Amino acid sequence: MIILGLDPSLSCTGWGVIRAEGSRIAHVANGQVKTDSKAPIAARLTQLHAEIEAVIASHAPDRAAAEEIFANKNAQSTIKLAQARGAVIAACGGAGLEVREHAARLVKKAVVGTGGAEKAQVQAMLKVLLPGVQLAGADAADALAVAIADANLR
């Protein structure tokens, strides 16, 4: 089974693709979609949608997984996150993919063993679970963690 993990954000959406066969997982690809903060919101959302569509077309995942949305103290940040998430999930829906959602603490627990893990701990564990992986960045690492958690939680 090919799983696409997603870490949506308006500024930089991370994505990671893994192959899960029983309890074995293997890295397929990972990357990040960065948008120009000076571009209009519609252009940024269109870019996110199009680039995730291209990832889906390239890697043909069987399903997708994303972190559940969380509310920031800043309402504007929460709205931007929700809009980016909507564009990314719409790209998955357009491709007929089921999108599973997982709480951030559950993702960390599934990958590191504790829900309070720091980003550095998650990235270190990814290098153990996916030997030789070259991470495109922190957001791509988070997306791979979501994909691995989804594979472990199915």
pLDDT digits (tens, 9 = 90+) for 23-67: 899 999 999 999 999 999 999 999 999 999 999 999 999 999 998
Q: Rounded to an integer, what distance in angstroms lies between the CA atom of residue 109 and that of residue 64? A: 19
The domain total for the chain is: 1
150 annotated as a binding-site residue = no
3-class state of residue 148 by DSSP: helix
Which among 72, 73, 92, 118 has a CA at the least distance from the CA of 6? 92
Is 139 catalytic? The answer is yes
**Per-residue confidence of the chain (154 residues) as pLDDT tens digits?**
999 999 999 999 999 999 999 889 999 999 999 999 999 999 999 999 999 999 999 999 999 999 887 766 788 888 888 999 999 999 999 999 999 999 989 999 999 988 888 889 999 999 999 999 999 999 999 999 999 999 998 7
What range does the domain containing 145 cover? 2-153
Q: What is the CATH number of the domain that holds 7?
A: 3.30.420.10
Of 62, 68, 118, 139, catalytic: 139
Q: What is the pTM of this model?
A: 0.94
Can you give the pLDDT at residue 71? 64
Residue of 7, 51, 142, 150 marked catalytic: 7
- In 3-state terms, what secondary structure has residue 2? strand
36 is in an annotated binding site: no
Scanning the structure block, which residue is given the tokens 């791509």? 140
